[in-house]
Chains A and B, each alone.
Chain A
Amino acid sequence: GENVEQHPSTLSVQEGDSAVIKCTYSDSASNYFPWYKQELGKGPQLIIDIRSNVGEKKDQRIAVTLNKTAKHFSLHITETQPEDSAVYFCAADREYGNKLVFGAGTILRVKS
Chain B
Amino acid sequence: GAVVSQHPSWVICKSGTSVKIECRSLDFQATTMFWYRQFPKQSLMLMATSNEGSKATYEQGVEKDKFLINHASLTLSTLTVTSAHPEDSSFYICSAAWSSGRTDTQYFGPGTRLTVL
Residue positions of A touching B, CB distance < 8 A: 31-32, 34, 36, 41-46, 49, 51, 89, 93, 97-100, 102-105
B residues near A31, Cβ cutoff 8 Å: 102-103
In the complex, the answer to whether A44 meets B93 with C-beta atoms within 8 Å is yes
Q: Most chain-B CB neighbours within 10 Å: which of A93, A97, A98, A99?
A: A98
How many Å lie between the Cα of A41 and that of B106 in the bound state? 19
A36 touches B32 (CB 8 A): no
**Which B residues form the contact surface with A (CB < 8 A)?**
4, 6, 32, 34, 42-44, 46, 49, 93, 97, 102-111, 113
Specify the chain A residue showing the minimal Cβ separation from B113. A41
Complex Cα spacing A32 to B103, Å? 7
* Chain B residue contacts of A49, Cβ below 8 A: 105
Q: In the bound complex, how far is the Cα of B44 from the Cα of A105, in angstroms?
A: 9
Given A42-B111, A43-B93, A102 contacting B44 (CB threshold 8 A): yes
B111 contacts A43, CB within 8 Å?
yes
Q: Which of A42, A46, A105 contacts B105 (CB 8 A)?
A: A46
